[in-house]
Amino acid sequence: MKLSLTLLLCILLSGCASSEVKSRRQTARANAQAALTQTEDIYRAAPGDGLLVEFYYNEELNRGVLVRPDGFISLPLVQDVQVTGLTLPEIRKILTEKYTGILKTPTVSVSLENLASYKVFVGGEVSSPGVFALSDGITVLRAITMAGGAKQTAGLGSVVIIRDQGTKSPEYLMVDLKATADQLADGQDLRLRPKDMVVVPKSKIARADQVVDQYLNQLIPFQKSLSATYVFGRPTY
């Protein structure tokens, strides 16, 4: 009887452990899917990025491709395809259209293999301006810390983010990092996106585009290294 109870207990514990493992796996899959969806929303292809192109019914055409410096990728049976500045869904749509009439069922999947464009620039009144790898969840304040921290001359009340929108004109955002910790947690300390430029001005400024006038010589080389597609101009509010 005692042995039977022990065996039953072991079976119950095994079942609980199995359910817990299954639950963890389901949670991990859900988190991975959510991360992929978020990546697809913000990612835009840039030179140096590696993409994996897969055809569900034509596996012989599956391959990894590198976005060339001219912004094109090379694939069999179709001409070179321009992808710079496009999201993954947009690339899928173009490839589906390209292969329609060539393949009986052109069902295409495009995913990321190498994110060469996942970098940000931090400049202005920081100790070590430069380009830094962008990992998940990096905020403006964290990026400034990665650049050696702000100088004493920095105007942290009007830090500017110049954000690539895949168009000729960037988006200008201004954040106040002199706010309290509660305010920063409530959204002032923005999370960065690929190819963002964080510029810390010398003093508080009225308009975000004024940093371009202050740091134009510093910004232009890094704009090219980030493969940004815009030209500097006046922000729209």
Q: Read off the pLDDT band of 36 (50, 70, 90).
A: very low
Q: List 173's β-bridge partners, or say none.
A: 161
Per-residue model confidence (pLDDT) at position 48: 81
Sketch out the chain's domains with CATH numbers: 50-114 (3.30.1950.10), 119-225 (3.10.560.10)
pLDDT in tens, 90-109: 999 999 999 999 999 899 99
Per-residue model confidence (pLDDT) at position 92: 95
pLDDT in tens, 44-55: 888 888 899 999
Taking alpha carbons only, the member of 44, 71, 49 closest to residue 196 is: 44
H/E element, 23:
helix 2-42
Q: Specify whether the CB–CB gap between 51 and 62 falls below 8 A.
A: no
Per-residue model confidence (pLDDT) at position 70: 86
Residue type, 127: S
The whole-model pTM stands at: 0.52
pLDDT in tens, 122-148: 988 899 888 887 766 788 988 999 999
Two tokens, residue 159: 């830090």
Phi, psi of 83 (to 5 degrees): -125, -10
Per-residue model confidence (pLDDT) at position 102: 93
Per-residue model confidence (pLDDT) at position 123: 87
